[in-house]
Structure 1
Amino acid sequence: MARPAGLTAAWWQVLGAVLREPLPVAGIARAMGVTRQSVQRVADLLAGRGLAEYIPNPAHRRAKLLRPTEEGRAAVRRIDPAHAEFARRLAGSLGPGELEETVRVLERLVDAMDTIGGR
């Protein structure tokens, strides 16, 4: 879904994390459950391509905030219709009960991984 918009899945995830508000790389990594280093690599690539930019962080001089540029926002908007259609088809294929159960199981899995230190 991301490829036709000119994004990789990782780029899409990082941009999605900062659509509502700029965040430091460490905050993005925590929200995504991945290493700061992996987010830093993606953030640098996004900034290099003009899809995101670093701005000063009033709370921390060295930890700059990442925010999407208008070009980055436009790329995410190009994905949204395909993503919505995919979700609609998936929900239709599973049916409401099975979809709800799948979500419950995945939420329990995430909680269990957090508890045992898997993230």
Structure 2
Amino acid sequence: MALSALFLDIFRANGRLIAAGDQLIAPLGLTSARWQVLGAVAMASTPQPVAHLARDMGLARQGVQRIVNELADEDFVAFEDNPHHRRAKLVRLTPRGQQVMAAAHKLQRPWVDVLAAGLDASKIAIAAEVLETLRNRLEDGTNPEGADQD
């Protein structure tokens, strides 16, 4: 029962986070979805194909591909040849993408500071640990019925 209540709070917080993120970065010509994809590209240690980005983000490849294509059209990301796969191009930030990510971080920092004000860092760490454990269990194939998958 407590976990079900937590799930509802996560859904509500996610909706508000997306709406607030959209408002925060709208002046940069981004949405939360585009920011999220740019962030995944920026955080990757090396350029990755869209399928890997989507998997790491827990999203469908087709949706991420659509956003990556839009970002490429606006010169935020570029494609480069993948030595391991002829058709699955690698995605990297362009200089313009790096600039918009730096600008997004400048906007984000004070917003996060306001949200974090008065929160106990150790409780945030515990919450992050719980979310990571839940994510890992879901990624390992725990299905909604609770039965083992074959």
Give distance in 1, aligned partners of 2:143 and 2:66. Answer: 24
What displacement does 1:90 show?
A: 2.5
Structure 1's unaligned 5+ residue stretches are none
The structure 1 segments of at least 4 consecutive aligned residues displaced by more than 6 Å after TM superposition are none
**Amino acid of the structure 2 residue aligned with 1:76:** M
Give the TM-score of the pair, scaled to structure 1: 0.87
- Residue aligning to 1:97: 122
Equivalent residues in 2 for 1:52-63, closer than 5 Å: 52-63=77-88
Is contact 1:91-1:99 (8 Å) kept? no
Give the TM-score of the pair, scaled to structure 2: 0.71
Question: Compared with structure 1, are the counterparts of its residues 117 and 32 closer, same or farther at alpha carbon in structure 2 (3 Å cutoff)?
Answer: farther
RMSD: 1.7
What displacement does 1:117 show?
A: 4.8
- Residue aligning to 1:10: 33
Identity fraction in percent = 38
The CA deviation string for residues 35-70 of structure 1, in whole angstroms up to 9 with x for no partner, is 110110001000111111111111111111111111
* 3-state DSSP of counterpart to 2:86: coil
What displacement does 1:97 show?
A: 3.1
**Amino acid of the structure 2 residue aligned with 1:3:** A
Give distance in 1, aligned partners of 2:122 and 2:86. Answer: 49
Give distance in 2, aligned partners of 1:21 and 1:82. Answer: 25
Higher RCO, 1 or 2 (CA under 8 Å, sep at least 6)?
1
**Amino acid of the structure 2 residue aligned with 1:60:** H
- Residue aligning to 2:106: 81
